[in-house]
Amino acid sequence: MSLIASHTTLLKQAAYRLGFQYVGVSKADYLEEEAPHLEEWLKRSYQGKMSYLENHFDKRLDPRKLVDGAKSVVSLLYNYHNPAKQTDPEAPKISTYAYGKDYHWIVKDKLRALVATLEEEIGAINGRVFVDSAPVMERAWAAKSGLGWVGKHSLLINRSVGSYVFLAELIIDLELEPDGPIKDYCGRCTRCIDACPTDAIVEDKVVDGSKCISYFTIELKDALPTEMAGKFDNWMFGCDICQEVCPWNRFAQKHQEPLFEPHPDLLEMNKQDWEELTKEVFNEIFRKSAVKRTKYTGLKRNIEFLNK
């Protein structure tokens, strides 16, 4: 076995031991096919008020501008699926990815442990770890490395586990054996497009972010637009509609990460509990949670909007 192959095997085995379900490798290079799509997406203002997406255009397309001497982009999937639902069918809904502790630090800690394991075996590595927190086109890299394909809803779909997965990346100066992409298995299915209540999926693989319920309930800091009243399908934080209707998610298995388990009271809260939510209860239920991103005032705004 060559040194490159040996390093690749070492990396993947270490990642699986840390709980990642899938690992794929791509050569660190310019994303030539994605460049015109990203430019057009921004030109159409699909980023809404997420102005940070307009920054670092070149870095988004070329990982070598993020890490000097980068040779490989390692893409990893970490399952977060939880089939448990809120007990009150009338309670405002929260996306399942936010049930437990904030995935950013949980998955990033695992990436750092992965790098440490590699360095123990082969010496110092120059690189960076990413979990949805830097200008990295994570879905493009995951698809390029064969972890799945980008569905019509623009999320990555894996044939074995579906789309309830967090994407993470290592960009490192270590040469590894690249994997190749797989075909798109969406076929003529349009369930995600048909189900979106705000018509945010404007064409195959293209989402107008400024119309997405997740954008409104998490990213938008301004007042929610009145024309969207009654269209949120009772989602107060995030939205899982396009994933819930996707046939590939029938293969999703419950995660094995204890830190992703919800606070004992979260799923039991009824509609009235949420409407009377205090800051103290918010801080207790969502301690170290991704929901903290919208803050107490933002969540209250969302809940009140659902009643309009």
Is pLDDT of 308 > 90?
Answer: no
SS (H, E, C) 198-230: CCCEEECCEECHHHCHHHHHHHCCCCCCHHHCC
Tally of structural domains, the chain: 1
Q: State residue 1's pLDDT score.
A: 76
Give residue 8's domain range: 1-308
Report d(CA 166, CA 24) in Å as an integer: 14
Among 238, 289, 237, smallest CA distance to 263 is for 289
pLDDT value of residue 133:
79
User: pLDDT (tens digit, 9 = 90+) per residue, 236-274?
Assistant: 999 999 999 999 999 999 999 999 999 999 999 999 999
pLDDT, tens digit (0-9, with 9 covering 90-100), for 65-111: 999 999 999 999 999 999 999 999 999 999 999 999 999 999 999 99
pLDDT surpasses 90 at 286: yes
Rounded Cα distance between 45 and 165, Å, is 27
Per-residue pLDDT, 50:
93
Task: Look at residue 299 and tell me whether its pLDDT is greater than 90.
Answer: yes
E strand spans, the chain? 22-27, 72-79, 93-94, 127-130, 149-150, 156-157, 165-172, 201-203, 206-207, 235-237
- Catalytic positions: 132
